[in-house]
Structure 1
């Protein structure tokens, strides 16, 4: 059978016809059957897409098909990307028992089973053959260096693999000219009934914006509108990737940032309010996107929601996931860019309200949270109205410097009593709530803060 396909592939017209026919079959056929019980959802591959995937590999492995494969580069690329996504975590086609009767020996029929290929491995191998045939060696090198071949087959990591693939395509001498056509071929799949296909397209579109490769304003609008349209997707992975893509608008020209700023800010706020986000992935992406966008917009764009953002992210300072805590703290620090304008007074109140949390998490058990606190306190220092405290933040809270926390808190407590005597009771009461913190380190930090503040207060009174 393989020999027949190889022979047919040597005819250019037949090859073109076969590729078109197979792409049509992939587009119209069900990628898998899904069954759900009380415990899990099981996906089982269907035979037709598996057969088409195997047949495409035979075509790609034939040297004579290079010209025809290159002509269909964008449609094949899009179809194979969707096929990989549709194969992740999918079980092989159900094995069919066949009866084999050896009449010559008079034996009874014997059930025979044949092991069917793994859908994910088959899809990835076919994709690799496609890249080899089109001489996309630069793409192959990047995917190999980033260990993407394995990630393509892993349910947790395949979105990241497609993010890396997008970067590779944009920088590839072979693939880059086809990017616009690949986008066009994938746009409809963002409304697919199958979650993995929507995940693939969302990951591709999100990173495409980040790579600044869309000089065409119409293409930018198409991708942005596509991502905005899926913010209510049933899959939290799709929603998360859409939020990431919209946040990536900060990577493109300032004109486009201004054009989409209101829309994107609204989307980020909605992302932070997502109620079906068990691991806070969407919230983290929304805060990360906001941090990037804040560096590119004017104060007038955010004035109306500045305090609202501050209030929304405050609970995230105490989230169990370190990445969420870190992003929330970084975002609060980035809000300082707008804290010296018309919103100065209300934002200063937010600084005082969050100061205890930032100081306690300065000695957080996670390094990334410690660094986030240092970053934010350095940005917030100039807005606090105390040259002494700001100077201490700037000198001691360097990102990679080793901070002797006890000594720092001891010196800072004295300065805070001198500079903000009317706030001390407020700070102490703020510390009390941290006595029930999830982390022993934060409980200890709170007790230390109260102790230092009280002892210094006594000394000052004496």
Structure 2
């Protein structure tokens, strides 16, 4: 009989063979399930792919014969369905619904409409016989309801009306069989009653709405333990189909997940894997909407598991995956997912509780794939979030991103000095920087949180460049904190997190926290008790092994002296002592310079009476840096010395002795090659004039205010020649030797400018008087 199927491709012969097989199947002959399924597959291959009705009418000239041939073919498909039903009813037969479903699956998924229609005819006959047959006992047997529903559902939107109605009839029979198997009454409407909405007279929109209505009926009856079967069956239209069938499959999938999404926790991972498979082979990218919305439904009920599977499965981050994260971000669960991502990012990078080396350093490394995926997901979700939502999550987002940055930069950042010039760090951005994804996301977060005036493209680019390099990371962190302060985004939670980092074993995180507090101390939104506690920690960090942390500690203490002087006074002497010790850190000139700038603020706040003997020690230490090669050291020393001079009223005798040693150096540096140093030197020299023991010092002070550096030097030399020849001779002697009396060599650019020989006549003295006389009238004392 099988040979007849292949040798005589006439529908009438096929019908006779299948009818014979139907009778034969009633005999109690022992065949295996595999053999029966092979027979049914042969029957399907012989009948279902036969030419369509139009082709048969075109080939057969006799119209009456053609019609008979079509009728015979139709009867053959129905007979094949009855054969399957008979095999299910026959007691000795090992075949069951799962085997039959596997045979029909390929043909029901066919892209050829007439093949799919014939498979539906077979299936409709099979399910009708099973529904009405009293001999077929389904109770206690496994019914692949989920797989069949997923297979038949999308076919309710087939191009031909007869196929759509056949699919609805199959689903109607399937519901009745399910009710019979569970010994319950059918609790929904019958899909067969909606066949009118699938007819040729209905438009596409009505057909789609009818299909969705049928989906609502059927999905309520899908056993939740067959959720994975349903999703595996319905993925086929996504992978291979186009047009209306894909749209119908999407609607059925969403309807099913809306119905059972909360109750299918054990199957979530498998369902998401199925959806990921669909994204890899989908022929209609425009229908990715259904996949994204399906993931969203699962995320609403199983947020943590869904997020973890997406990060694990949906990689690399292609266009579809990025849109998936944006879809999650637009939903009401977006804030919750974003918060969970932020916590995950901190966990991925927070291995700092156990130092990676005996010294507690974090070594530079390539970021993990997971940290990069989480960061990119955060960036996409932030882009569609509201300003208020991102601001509320800033205490969670910012630490995680900074943790990843510091981890990627490694230990080089611990010994990269800051620029003492405050904000003059160079752009050291490099191509292919491993920190760029974290910086880019960080800038996205800040752009969302702050007003444009606080974070212009220029500052955003500069900040990103600073943070990406270990040599400028600390400066970038200070700039970041400054922006947060201006935008009023420093919260108590954020301060608490960075306070904890000050005590972390990871020196990298300590540095990040120190940079934060160094800038925060300019305007600390802290309570009095917390300020004192923080000051103690900052003072401790002045002895840290990292030179950058020591420098930040000095900067933080100096800023604190300016912003919270009352609190600083309570520990003033201890802080001064710490900074004095830092002046001996000659191996790190940046630390020395920062310490002198901080001491300048402390001396101004504490005043001489509260410094005790520290005033003399600071003055003696400071003058040793006037001739340093580094211009920032000269500037910092002059800045500190100017504050000492302005505060030395009660230390007049001591400071006069000091100025007697330092005035030559100050005089020469009036024309320092660095403009900032020369400008500071002029201020310092003017403040030191009252301690030089000169006649008419007010006139010299007035000249300092009125003349430029060269003119001032010339005028002073003229004055010394007239009123203090020994001082002029000392000046010449120092210039000739190139060093001071204590043996300290002058800065190379200072003594070379001395070419003045002093006034040699009364006429020169008169010139001096003419230069000084107007200053008394124009520039009153103290102006």
Shorter chain as normaliser: what TM range? 0.7 to 0.9
1:330 matches 2:643? no
Aligned to 1:171: 486
1:95 match: none
* CA distance, structure 2, for counterparts of residue 29 and residue 85 of structure 1: 11
CA gap 1:252/1:146 in 2 versus in 1, 3 angstroms: farther
Quickly say closer, same or farther: Cα 1:237–1:429, change in 2 above 3 A: same
1:123: Cα distance to partner? Answer: 0.6
- What corresponds to 1:407 in structure 2? 714
1:182 matched to 2:509: no
User: Once the 2 structures are TM-superposed, how far is the Cα of residue 306 of structure 1 from its aligned partner?
Assistant: 1.7
2:409/2:435 contact within 8 Å kept: yes
**2:575 aligns to what?**
264
| Deviates further, 136-145 or 200-209 | 136-145
Q: 1:127 — aligned with what?
A: 442
Q: 2:682 aligns with which of 366, 374, 386?
A: 374
Instruction: Normalising by structure 2, report the TM-score.
Output: 0.48
1:306 pairs with one of 594, 601, 615: 615
C-alpha deviation, 1:321, in angstroms: 1.1
Contact kept in structure 2, 1:30 and 1:49, CA below 8 Å: no
- State the match for 1:44 in structure 2: 365
Q: Is the Cα–Cα contact under 8 Å of residues 403 and 509 in structure 2 kept in the other structure?
A: yes
Deviation, structure 1 residue 358: 0.9
After superposition, give the CA deviation of every residue in 1:84-134 in whole Å (9 maximum; x if it has no partner).
34444899xxxxxxxxxxxxxxxxxxxxxxxx9742110111112323454
Deviates more, 1:312-321 or 1:259-268: 259-268
**Contact kept in structure 2, 1:33 and 1:46, CA below 8 Å:** no
The structure 2 residue matched to 1:54, chosen from 376, 379, 398, is 376
Q: Check the 8 A contact 2:717/2:728 in 1, yes or no.
A: no
1:398 equivalent in alignment to 2:699: no
Task: Pick the aligned partner of 2:467 from 131, 152, 166.
Answer: 152
CA distance in 2 between partners of 1:399 and 1:234 (Å)? 47
1:128-178: per-residue Cα shift (whole Å, max 9, x none)? 2323454665543387378322222233333222222212212214x14x1
Q: Which residue of 2 aligns with 1:283?
A: 592
* 2:256 alignment partner in structure 1: none
Q: Which residue of 2 aligns with 1:229?
A: 540
Residue 201 (structure 1) aligned to one of 508, 513, 518: 513
Residues 682 and 704, structure 2, Cα contact 8 Å, conserved in 1 = yes
Partners of 1:59 and 1:358 in 2: CA distance: 59
| Structure 2 CA distance for aligned equivalents of residues 190 and 395 of structure 1 | 49
Mapped contact 1:356–1:431 kept (Cα < 8 A): no
Distance in 1 (alpha carbons) for counterparts of 2:394 and 2:538 = 24
User: Taking structure 1 as reference, are residues 71 and 371 closer, same or farther at Cα in structure 2, changes over 3 Å only?
Assistant: closer
1:111 maps to none
Conserved? CA contact 1:90–1:119, under 8 Å: no
Distance 1:414 1:433, change over 3 A: same
Name structure 2 gaps, 5 residues minimum: 1-313, 315-320, 413-430, 766-783
Identify which of structures 1 and 2 has the higher relative contact order when contacts are C-alpha pairs closer than 8 Å and 6+ apart: 1
Q: How far does the alpha carbon of each residue in 1:280-312 deviate from its partner, in whole angstroms, 9 at most, with x for none?
A: 111111111112222222321223122211211
Q: 1:259 to 1:131 in 2, by over 3 A?
A: same
Q: Distance in 2 between matches of 1:247 and 1:135?
A: 28
Match of 1:384 in 2: 692
Structure-2 separation of matches of 1:366 and 1:165: 29
1:96 alignment counterpart:
none
Structure 1 segments unaligned to the other structure (5+ residues): 35-40, 92-115
Q: 1:360 aligns with which of 635, 654, 668?
A: 668
Total equivalences in the alignment? 413
Partner of 2:751: 443
Distance 1:367 1:200, change over 3 A: same
Q: Report the 3-state secondary structure (helix = DSSP H, G, I; strand = E; otherwise coil) of the residue aligned with 2:455.
A: helix
Taking a change above 3 Å as real, the CA distance of residues 117 and 323 of structure 1, as seen in their structure-2 partners, is closer
TM (norm. structure 1) is 0.77
C-alpha distance in 1 between matches for 2:748 and 2:449: 57
How far apart are residue 385 of structure 1 and its match?
A: 3.4
What's the counterpart of residue 102 of structure 1?
A: none
d(CA) in 2 for partners of 1:135 and 1:149? 16
Structure 2 CA distance for partners of 1:332 and 1:22, relative to 1, 3 Å: closer
1:63 corresponds to which of 382, 385, 397: 385
Q: Are residues 295 and 416 of structure 1, via their aligned partners in 2, closer, same or farther at CA, if it must alter by over 3 Å?
A: farther
Cα distance change on mapping 1:16 and 1:292 into 2, 3 Å: closer
Matched, 1:72 2:393: yes
Please state whether the residue corresponding to 2:471 is helix, strand or coil: coil
Structure 2 partner of 1:38: none
After superposition, the Cα gap between the structure-2 partners of 1:371 and 1:117, relative to the gap in structure 1 and judged at 3 Å, is closer
Deviation at 1:445, TM superposition (A): 3.9
Contact 2:627 2:747 in 1 (8 A): no
Coordinate RMSD, CA, aligned: 3.6
Alignment-derived partner of residue 112 in structure 1: none
Larger CA deviation: 352-361 vs 437-446: 437-446
* 2:563 maps to 1:252: yes
Of structures 1 and 2, the larger Rg is shown by: 2
Contact 2:635 2:677 in 1 (8 A): yes
